[in-house]
Amino acid sequence: MNATPALSLFELNALVRQTIEQTLTREYWVEAELSECRESRGHCYMELIQKDERSATPIARASAKCWASKWMIIRPYFERTTGQTLHAGLKVLLKVYAQFHEAFGFSWIVTDIDPTFTLGDMARRRQEIIRQLKQEGVFDLQKELTLPVFCQRIAVISSATAAGYGDFVKQLTENAFGLRFSVTLFPAIMQGEQVEQSIIAALDSIYQTPNQIPTPSPSRTGGGLGQTTPLQDYTNAPPARERLRVGEPCSGMGLGVGISPQQDYTNAPPVRERLRVGEPCSGMGLGVGPPFDCVVILRGGGATADLSGFDTLALAENVAQFPLPIITGIGHDRDESILDMVSHTRVKTPTAAAAFLIDHLKQVLTNLDDSQARITRFAQHRLTALHAQLTTLQEIIPRLFSVVKARQEARLHSLYSHLLGSMQRRVGTEGTKLSACEQKIPMLLRHTLTVRQNQLALLEEKTKALDPALLLHRGYSITLKDGHAVRDPKQLSKGDEIETRLEKGTIKSIIK
């Protein structure tokens, strides 16, 4: 058995404490990454970590504490300088000293935090995200989208209880021009570590919304907003950015546009009037297009320091690749977040977002009024010019008709004279021909009669030469049977009676 007396655990820990206090007597600046950061009873408890640069595997861990007396000074200064709170994943430069307690073990006690170090790391990370977005070719995708002319159907991502959302709705409702908007809220967490996931989920919900136009009430009274549709549950829906990358059609989002049955707009009011009464103008009554015209991301009324959730790669990729224009009004002037950079339009506050939409639609209304005035002036000018032309023609046509009539009458007289002369000449020519024919006909008749008489005489001579009586006179005979000449003995049979004609008589015989 060992003769050295054993120490109790408390004695051993006290020895460690004494050694640390005697050895690590000063404070140290240490670079680390926060893997956890929480507050309790005014104190801040941190878990520090260092990762291998190649494998990102943790190679060192430690606990750190900042007591309330220091934390109440360090925290406001850090948040005011960096624009965000301490949270997991943040790299920090801490001023610490070592402390070991017999009951609670070892920890580093934080006495100061250098915000400039964190700002430098944040800037580096921001630049890395921006570089990656540009390398992927998505950084300016939102800028390439066009805000619809009749931008009245608004999808809003915000906290339902945020003061900024209330200001946004109030300004749209009470706009001085009586313009109507349809606003649909998609609730999201706008502060803290869940900002990224919550906004992405809201974007997915907007993407999955059925292709139906939320129509504001046509009444002119009772404010400037249509009904607000409830948020549907799309918990298991794939992210919009993934669907865009794999090429799935974005029906209703401007990529794979669905077509609903055509509406009857025969008696619909003019477009500029529909802007005021709230009837949707997108698709111009054809029922074609996405269920929303744009998306507005609002944040207002929260801590100005809590903006780190808007500087993440995943959120930036989802916003940049979303098929609808996205307007951001997250309520800060000092810095521009990455979300602001990749969005279609960035405004400072929720009320500025509402003013932007109102001004856009008011400009459309102004353009319509100007176009109407220009069309009216053009039509009036055109009608005046045409009326002047008709008056001139009314005066010219009678004179022209007289001239044309005289010309046509002269032409007809000339044609009549020419036709009459031609007919007289033709009648004279044909009369001469008839006279000549009249003189030739008697001679032709006499000649023809002489020729025909000669032909008859020749035929008579030939007929006489073929007379059977001449053959009988020469000694020939003709044998007949039943009145027909017999040319072949085979025509006769035994007992047949035949008749033989001679020049001077007839002989009847019977065949034996």
Q: Which helix (H) or strand (E) holds 197?
A: helix 195-208
Amino acid identity of 99? Q
* Predicted TM-score of the model (pTM): 0.53
pLDDT at 181: 93
CB atoms inside a 10 Å sphere around CB 501 = 17
Cα 290 to Cα 208: distance, rounded to the nearest angstrom:
11
Crossing angle, helix 68-82 and helix 115-136, to 10 degrees?
40
Averaged over successive runs of 10 residues, the pLDDT of the chain (512 residues) comes to 78 89 90 91 93 84 94 91 82 93 91 87 81 91 92 92 89 91 92 86 90 46 42 40 36 34 41 45 44 90 60 91 92 73 91 94 91 93 93 88 90 92 91 87 88 90 78 80 84 85 84 82
Question: How many other C-beta atoms lie within 10 A of the C-beta of residue 447?
Answer: 10
Q: Is 301 helix (H, G, I), strand (E, B) or coil?
A: coil
- Specify the pLDDT at position 402: 87
The whole-number pLDDT of residue 463 equals: 82
pLDDT at 332: 61
- Six-digit token string for 494: 């035994």
Using DSSP's 3-state secondary structure scheme, residue 272 falls into helix
Spatial distance between the Cα atoms of 174 and 181, rounded to a whole number of angstroms? 11
Angle between helices 115-136 and 313-320 (to 10 degrees): 40
How many CA atoms, within 13 angstroms, populate the side-chain half-sphere of residue 495?
Answer: 0
- Position 474 scores a pLDDT of 76
Fill in the amino acid letter for 222: G
Six token digits for residue 429: 């020519």
Residue 267: CB atoms within 10 A of its CB come to 5
The two tokens of residue 268 are: 């619909």
Exposed e or buried b for every residue in 384-407, given b needs 16+ CB within 10 A? eeeeeeeeeeeeeeeeeeeeeeee
pLDDT for position 285: 38
259 token code pair: 């077509």
Query: What DSSP assignment string belongs to 50-118?
Result: EE-TTT--EEEEEEEEE-HHHHHHHHHHHHHHHSS---TT-EEEEEEEEEEETTTEEEEEEEEE-HHHH
Torsion angle of C-alpha atoms 332, 338, 341, 344, degrees rounded to 10: -90
> Which residues, in sequence order, are CB contacts of 97 under 8 Å at separation 6+?
24, 26, 27, 28, 108, 109, 111
